[in-house]
């Protein structure tokens, strides 16, 4: 599978759940074999690229479902990813118990009022806990909704990403 951008830029209407695994002694080729999954992105310690803010402190590995497996419902998309990961849960738990990290980054399009936030059922949370992975909930805000909520078109974002219309 070719390297993919780790953000929602291509189709923000679809949720995205990616598994990010990192550990000081992570062998990304071995992890690929052990999980039987093809990563969309890997990096070595010290690498710096567009998807990493700084040089990586430790090796990492990222997996996402194929585009045809993506659901519009964020929880269902997460469940599809869990279904793929559960058969190899022992591999993920070994990384975590060995001092590494396994995190699912769940991104979804969110209205500024929070009306589109996903709800995770107890069974979904139980399955995530059994895998030993953390979940990073990352809402992506719908700017069209934000700007339609009473701010006029003169407003811009300044360097600190705070709304500003240049007036004090």
How much is the pTM? Answer: 0.71
The parent domain of residue 26 ranges over 16-142
**Per the structure block, which two tokens stand in for 47?**
């690498």
Between CA 12 and CA 22, with CA 17 as vertex, the angle to 5 degrees is: 130
**102 belongs to a structural domain:** yes
**166 belongs to a structural domain:** no
**106 belongs to a structural domain:** yes
Q: Kindly list the distances between the CA atom of residue 120 and the CA atoms of 80, 126, 128, in Å, as whole numbers in the listed order.
A: 13, 10, 11
**81 belongs to a structural domain:** yes
pLDDT truncated to tens, each residue of the chain (168 aa)?
344 444 444 555 567 788 999 999 999 999 999 999 999 989 887 677 545 555 568 889 999 987 665 656 778 888 999 999 999 999 999 999 999 999 999 887 766 655 667 778 999 999 999 999 999 887 776 655 444 444 444 444 445 554 444 444
What's the structural domain count of the chain? 1
**122 belongs to a structural domain:** yes
Q: Kindly list the distances between the CA atom of residue 54 and the CA atoms of 37, 47, 79, 113, 159, in Å, as whole numbers in the listed order.
A: 26, 8, 31, 32, 20
């Amino acid at each position: 599978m070719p390297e993919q951008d780790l953000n929602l830029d291509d189709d923000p209407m679809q949720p995205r759940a990616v598994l990010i695994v990192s550990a000081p002694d992570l062998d990304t080729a071995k992890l690929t074999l052990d999980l039987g999954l093809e990563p969309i992105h890997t990096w070595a310690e010290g690498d710096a690229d567009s998807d990493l803010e700084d040089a990586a402190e430790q090796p990492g590995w990222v997996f996402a479902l194929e585009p045809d497996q993506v659901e519009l419902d964020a929880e269902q998309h997460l469940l599809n990813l869990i279904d793929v990961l559960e058969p190899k849960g022992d591999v993920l738990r070994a990384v975590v118990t060995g001092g590494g990290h396994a995190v699912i980054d769940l991104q979804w399009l969110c209205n500024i009022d929070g009306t589109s936030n996903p709800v995770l059922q107890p069974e979904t949370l139980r399955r995530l806990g059994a895998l030993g992975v953390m979940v990073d909930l990352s809402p992506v805000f719908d700017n069209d909704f934000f700007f339609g909520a009473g701010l006029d078109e003169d407003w811009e974002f300044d360097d600190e990403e705070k709304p500003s219309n240049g007036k004090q």
